[in-house]
Structure 1
Amino acid sequence: MASQERWCMVTGGRGFAARHLVEMLIRYEMFCVRIADLGPSIKLDPYEEEGTLGKALKSGRAQYVSADLRDKARVLKACQGAEIVFHMAAPDSSINNYNLHRAVNVEGTKNVIEACVELQVKRLIYTSSASVVFDGVHGIFNGDESLSYPVKHNDFYSATKAEGEALVLKANGEKGLLTCSIRPSGIFGPGDKLLVPSLVDAARAGKSKFIIGDGKNMYDFTYVENVAHAHICAERALASKGTVSEKASGQAYFVTNMEPIKFWEFMSLILEGLGYERPRIKIPTFVMMPIAHLVEFIYRLFAPYGMKVPQLTPSRIRLLSSDRTFNSSKAKDRLGYTPIVSLQEGLERTIESYSHLRAEHQPKRDGPSKVHKYLGGGRVADILLWKDKKLSLVTMLIFVAFYYNFIASGYTIVATISKLILLAAVFLYIHANMPEKIFGCTVEKVPVSAFHCSEEKSQRAAVSVVSQWNTAVGILKSLCRGSDWMLFLKVVMTLLIVSLLGVFSFQRLYLAGVLVIFVAFFIYEKKEEEIDHLVSRITRFGSKLKSDTKKKDL
């Protein structure tokens, strides 16, 4: 490296916003860029190979270093020779793990500050979050930097981000180090692996039709290139001499697109842009919160066994239903920041970058569904899957009529069977004596063979009964040996379920059964992929739980 080369370092340099900052720094030829991240080596996406970053890495104008912020020695190595550090590294905000967030956002930030002081780095710019002033209870409308940190934050990410920010601002002026903090709100844009993909997943699962709250909450979003631009504005302001640098340093700045919009309108624009329906059904927050608390509790129990972070958590519900708008005047006045990409243009670029997730690109089912095949693919399948809506409705009404006339009436089994045989006899007699045509319509006669049970069918039925009996005997033998605890658990759970069903009367079970068979099969066919994926995840989770239990026993 030539002595005249000026270097900057970007922590978390392979993160969403950091990638855009790295690209911008290289394009502007302001600095040679050292990219620090957790990976042992840098892996470029195809578009990066021949792009700005790929060329800079080949020419030596960019470097990659593997660095864990929790290891001070590696942080010192990454900061060596840097004139400025952009501290953007942070864990995924959706992972509400206090130990992880504190280790990176607080202890890791301490290591970065100490490295900057020891190595005489001139400027340190910290990427904070607008959430550092949000308590999850009170909405924020046009909030500015006079807002103090709340006593209790909405989540561990926000709480530890606030701690890290306070450390950075306090370090301003220490041995000539100048610092400031950028607080972006609602970052979006190409390359985001959280917002748009999760929206599309929800849309494909049929969950995007819901609005949490009244749908009127206002929000400030920030296009990712504007976030990168704000960091460069901050660096230029700190590098300036005199009053500009003095006014800019030691301060925190809210950064947005300066175009507040209804949160759910923003989400709708993205969904519509990708060909999905916009959310329409409003669910009150007080209805969702108990469910979210239950989901979070289940996650805490099963996270050690590999359960993925759920989207439905109390902190997320508060974020989706609260007002959160911020005033960026201070960033404009002291840093010279104004958005370089409008909200509309940012949305268009974002939607275009996710064109592969458009609704029309969803995999189409080839041939009949699995459930259609399971039901035999004939008239029964057509009825239960509502292929012939008229026939399905008539059949369901017959089941309901049977319920009210024979089950809900309270008849004994003997009386019910007698009435059914009587009705069948009357129907067959009248049907047999009807003319072949009535008003031009042909009346199909019921052949005697329809009631005949062939010897082959009788044998199959007998073999099936015997097979089921032998299976039950095999289970009893296995239980007597006491060697298969999983089988024992399955038997116990099955009997418990049966005993629970026994609490309900036959009348209720019949009516519920009719509703289920006419609804469950239909829903499964429509959401086959999502349900199969969920079942697969539950199965994998169960297998992992079983494996972990066996290891503990050993």
Structure 2
Amino acid sequence: MAHKHNALILSDSDDEISKTQATILTRDKPIHEILGGGKVADVLLWRDRNVSAALLLGMTAIWFLFEVAEYNLVTLLCHFAITSMLALYLWSIAADILKRDGPQFLENILQESLFQDLGFILHRRLNQILRLLLHISSGTDLPTFLLIVVSLYVLSVIGTFFSFVNLLYIGFLCIQTLPIVYDRHEEEINNLFGHIIVDLRKKYRRFKKTYVNKIPRGPVKGKEDLIILIRIH
């Protein structure tokens, strides 16, 4: 009898995990569309390996210069400008001596569309995050609310041990690695998070049964009183 009871518990737990995966972790759109599609999604999912690798190397070089070499931003920009100007100057002189074409400059080096696309993506993602935080803060899902609050507190504690540049670099690494890891190992990650969420829900139910339900509440109005109040308003 005990064996059947344990089997029933395991079955219910597995069913709850599968339902959790179906309702929380699944998605209607491919992850490429969720990330905004286009070149940004291609870079994050490493579909354009050359650009993704160049971006990773560039960000790593910037992190090295600021954190390891302890460069100041103004100093770094000035040294970069001096080096670039010296290289172009020597190139121009060598081209005159060798009777060859010198450096050619574009009329618009930085395209306006690049900043427009970047601003549009940031604007849309920030709005999504703010709407999500407002929805969670509305009190509709207390476990998720507590989980977000605890996560933000843990992040704030972690932030005291790292500089701002280190946090930006770690965030960049997460952005450039987590999407492709999830895209390639979606089933394993869903199973892991399914077990975690089910375990958190069980602990919340136990906490609610032990503490929350024992909090005294005022008398609940009867149905007739509620109907009268509704008619009055």
Bigger RCO of structures 1 and 2 (CA < 8 A, at least 6 apart): 2
Q: Distance in 2 between matches of 1:373 and 1:485?
A: 29
The structure 2 residue matched to 1:394, chosen from 43, 47, 54, is: 54
TM-score scaled by length of structure 1: 0.25
Q: How far, CA to CA, are the matches of 1:520 and 1:485 in structure 2?
A: 24
Deviations 1:233-265 (A, max 9, x none): xxxxxxxxxxxxxxxxxxxxxxxxxxxxxxxxx
TM-score between the two structures when normalised by the length of structure 2: 0.51
> CA distance change for structure 1 residues 390 and 422 in 2, over 3 Å: closer, same or farther?
same
| 1:485-500 → structure 2 map (5 Å cutoff) | 487=145, 490-500=148-158
Aligned CA distance change for structure 1 residues 461 and 519 (closer, same or farther; 3 Å): closer
Does the Cα contact within 8 Å between 1:383 and 1:392 map onto a contact in 2? yes
| 1:412/1:384 CA distance change after superposition, 3 Å | same
Question: Deviation string for 1:74-106 (max 9, x for gaps)?
Answer: xxxxxxxxxxxxxxxxx69xxxxxxx9xxxxxx
2:154 alignment partner AA: L
* Whole-angstrom distance in 2 between the partners of 1:496 and 1:373: 30
In structure 1, what is the equivalent of residue 182 of structure 2? 524
Q: Classify the secondary structure of the residue corresponding to 2:46.
A: coil
Percent sequence identity over aligned pairs: 23
Q: Match of 2:64?
A: 404
SS in 2 for 1:504: coil
Superposition deviation, residue 524 in structure 1: 0.9
Q: How far apart, in 2, do the equivalents of 1:381 and 1:504 lie?
A: 28
What stretches of structure 1 of length at least 5 have no aligned partner? 1-67, 71-90, 93-99, 101-302, 309-367, 437-442, 479-483
Judged with a 3 Å threshold, the aligned counterparts in structure 2 of structure 1 residues 525 and 488 are, in CA distance, closer, same or farther, namely: closer
Does residue 1:376 correspond to 2:39, yes or no?
A: no
The answer to whether structure 1 residue 552 and structure 2 residue 210 are counterparts is: yes
Distance across 2 between alignment mates of 1:523 and 1:370: 14
Tell me the secondary structure at the aligned position of residue 518 of structure 1.
helix
- The alpha-carbon distance between structure 1 residues 446 and 526, as it changes in their structure 2 partners (threshold 3 A), is same
Structure 2 runs not aligned, ≥5 long:
15-27, 90-101, 214-233
Question: Larger radius of gyration, structure 1 or 2?
Answer: 1
Q: Distance in 2 between matches of 1:551 and 1:517?
A: 39
Distance 2:49 2:78 in 1: 29
Q: State the alpha-carbon separation in 2 of the partners of residues 546 and 490 from structure 1.
A: 14
Alignment map for 1:32-431 (pairs within 5 Å): 370-415=30-75, 418-419=77-78, 422=81
Structure having the larger proportion of residues in helix: 2
**Maintained 8 Å contact 1:307/1:541:** no
Pair 1:449-2:109 in alignment: no
d(CA) in 2 for partners of 1:503 and 1:524?
28
Q: Secondary structure at the match of 1:411?
A: coil
Deviations 1:201-224 (A, max 9, x none): xxxxxxxxxxxxxxxxxxxxxxxx
How many angstroms does 1:525 deviate by? 0.8
| CA displacement at 1:307 relative to structure 2 | 6.6
Q: CA deviation at 1:406?
A: 3.5
Letter in 1 for 2:42: D
Residues 163-199 of structure 1, C-alpha deviations (whole Å, 9 max, x = no match): xxxxxxxxxxxxxxxxxxxxxxxxxxxxxxxxxxxxx
* Gap change, CA 1:486 and 1:404, over 3 Å in 2: closer
CA RMSD of aligned residues (A): 4.9
Greater strand share, 1 or 2? Answer: 1
Whether contact under 8 Å (1:369, 1:525) holds in the other structure is no
Per the alignment, residue 204 of structure 1 pairs with none
Q: In the alignment, residue 393 of structure 1 is paired with which amino acid? A: A
